[in-house]
Amino acid sequence: MVDYGYVVGGSGPSAVTEQYNDIANTWTSKANLNTARTALGGFGLNNYGYTVGGLTGGVGTQSVITERYDDVTNSWSNKGNLNNAMYNVACFTLNGYGYAIGSTTSLHPDSGYTEKYDDSANSWATRLQADIIYGRAGFALGGYGYIVGGFYGVTDDPENRTERYDDVGNSWTEMAYFLNTARGALAGFALNGSGYAVGGDTGSVSAVTEQCCWTTKDNLNTARSSLAGFAAVAGRLHKYLSIDRDNFSKIDTINVANITKIDTIVY
Domain spans, the chain = 4-243
pLDDT tens for each residue of 39-75: 888 888 898 989 999 999 988 899 999 999 999 999 9
Residue 227's pLDDT is what? Answer: 58
Class of the domain covering 4-243? mainly beta
Q: How many CB atoms lie within 10 A of CB 25?
A: 8
Lowest mean pLDDT among 50-59, 82-91, 228-237: 228-237
* pTM of the predicted protein model: 0.79
Confidence of residue 251 (pLDDT cuts 50, 70, 90): very low
For range 19-36, the mean pLDDT: 85
Instruction: Provide the b/e sequence for 36-61 (b: ≥16 CB within 10 Å).
Output: bbbbbbbbbbeebbbbbbbbbeeeee
**Tens digit of each residue's pLDDT (9 = 90 or more) over 204-232:** 888 888 888 777 877 777 676 655 554 54
The CA distance from 264 to 101, in Å, is 16
pLDDT at 169 over 50: yes
- Give CA–CA dist 197/227, Å, rounded: 11
Residue 190's closest CA among 265, 260, 253? 265
Instruction: Report the pLDDT averaged over residues 164-187.
Output: 90
